[in-house]
Amino acid sequence: MCNLISACCVQWPHRCHAFLVIKPSSIKMSSQRADRQSKGQLRAHREADMEGQEKSKDIRIMIVDDFAGMRTILKHTLHLLGYDRIVEARGGQDALLKLKTEPCNLIISDWSMPNMTGLEFLSALKEDPQLKQVPFLMITAKSERSNVIEAAHAGVTHYMIKPFSAEALQKKLESILRVTP
């Protein structure tokens, strides 16, 4: 039995730039493991899961990417991870407008976008007193060390290189949300 589910852009396969591998085993316990645990341990695990789900329901995440297929993939992955309050923006300028009426707890942005790059968008956020503290996860195909250093100097909270797994995204989100107020 294969425990891998792959998600990719179905509508525009010729334009799909990202590929995610989602391992349900990393999100849910396997039935064999559950059979070995006592009822008390299972109850504690379920309560912790419900508590985590309640926390994730309170978090609003903005996805900023000019490519609709990538926004769809990220939105689907975030739903699988328990994040349901998602705002989408087609670019930095669109995101800045939406953030005025829909404040977010976390921004996930692409680097390479027309009109306003992810770094330019981040700079605009850092100039706004109400938005400068919002955690910023940069997701990009730019893997050169100089790009990572440039992003760090600009003030990104975390940096992820495409392609990535849902498990890797989950770890980044947990890390970001654990250290933010």
For 89-110, the pLDDT digits (tens) are 999 999 999 999 999 999 999 9
pLDDT of amino acid 96: 96
Q: Domain count for the chain, please give it.
A: 1
What does residue 153 show for φ and ψ, rounded to 5 degrees? -65, -30
pLDDT band for position 111 (50/70/90)?
Answer: very high
d(CA 175, CA 42): 25
Q: What span, in angstroms and rounded, lies between the C-alpha atoms of 157 and 61?
A: 14
Residue 86 bridge partners (DSSP): 61
Say which CATH number the domain at 163 has. 3.40.50.2300
Measured torsion, CA atoms of residues 53, 72, 152, 102, in degrees rounded to the nearest 10? -70
Task: For residue 32, give its domain range.
Answer: 5-179
pLDDT of residue 87: 97
Q: What is the share, in percent, of the chain residues with pLDDT greater than 90?
A: 63
**Which has the closest alpha carbon to 59: 22, 104, 20, 17?**
104
Residue with tokens 């730019």: 142
Kindly report, residue by residue over 46-80, the tens digit of the pLDDT: 444 444 445 566 899 999 999 999 999 999 999 99
